[in-house]
Amino acid sequence: MNAIISASELASALTGENPPVLLDVRWQLTLAKTPGEPPFDGRKAYEAGHIPGAVYVDLDRELAATPGSRGRHPLPDLAGFGAAMRRSGVSSGTPVIVYDGGQGWAAARAWWLLRWTGHPEVRVLDGGLPTWEGPLETSVPSPAEGDFEPVPGATGLLDADDAAALARSGVLLDARAGERYRGEVEPIDPVGGHIPGALSAPTNDNVGTDGRFLPAEELAARFKALGASEGTDVGVYCGSGVSGAHEVLALAVAGIPAALYVGSWSEWSSDPSRPVAVGPDPQ
């Protein structure tokens, strides 16, 4: 099953015999803003207009636990996550389509969590809401309770020690911007740099100017040049396990399974005992 879906395919699916549950996960990483400027409000954006039938999911509250020693977006409590998905109408036998405001990171986080916890059919709207040409609605739907029960996967998740080991034995990709990988700037976390042995692979390079993923063959060629191909043990991290999920999604489009280090740099850099590499050299 393809991990992404186009807007035209989504429009057809919504009128089909088994229409998908539609989740709106609009979210933005909030950095320093002009004094007095409010942070991005995903629910407010949703209420101003969303794809008909879509249910809003809050990334910070429903797709992550409280920030702390495990990072800025640690894994959510699975009981709470399952309850949030069931409230949204998610059932194991019903396909799920996730979209966000276009960046794709938040939608990928929801996709990854649902896949990791056992949902068999989840896709991301490629390019997000800006690609949708149909009508929008402002009414908030009340879907029937779903039956999805999350069961964590045996693979696909890395902790800090796993990530350190994979950087030596396989391929560990750093999905952040290159300047953060090199340690030239660090706007959020305690220190700049990267996990020793990790390779810089900014996830923004996986999409075109329209926000859609590059063709699968181009993505496969990009990852192959980094040493990642089918049959290779591949892992991804980022700042807090959100943009990294987007890179895992890009790898899936390319046909390459990959695991996610959810704690990512926000967890790694908070532990002064863990080594930090700086500059363009992986080591």
Q: What is the dihedral of CA 46, 48, 49, 54, to 10 degrees?
A: 30
Which stretches within the chain are classed as H helix? 7-14, 42-48, 59-62, 78-87, 105-116, 160-169, 178-182, 216-225, 243-253, 264-268
Write the DSSP symbol of residue 207: B
Q: Is 224 among the catalytic positions? A: no
User: Which amino acid does the sequence have at 271?
Assistant: D
Taking the C-alpha atoms of residue 27 and residue 64, their distance in angstroms, rounded to an integer, is: 13
- Of the candidates 43, 149, 135, the one whose C-alpha atom is nearest the C-alpha of residue 91 is 149
User: How distant is the alpha carbon of residue 65 from its chain centre?
Assistant: 15
What are the structure tokens assigned to 240, written together?
């807090």
Strands 21-24 and 4-5: unpaired
- Of the candidates 71, 67, 80, the one whose C-alpha atom is nearest the C-alpha of residue 163 is 71
**Angle in degrees, 0-180, between the axes of helices 216-225 and 243-253, rounded to the nearest 10:** 110
Residue from 51, 57, 63, 238 carrying the catalytic annotation: 238
Taking the C-alpha atoms of residue 178 and residue 238, their distance in angstroms, rounded to an integer, is: 11
Catalytic residues: 238
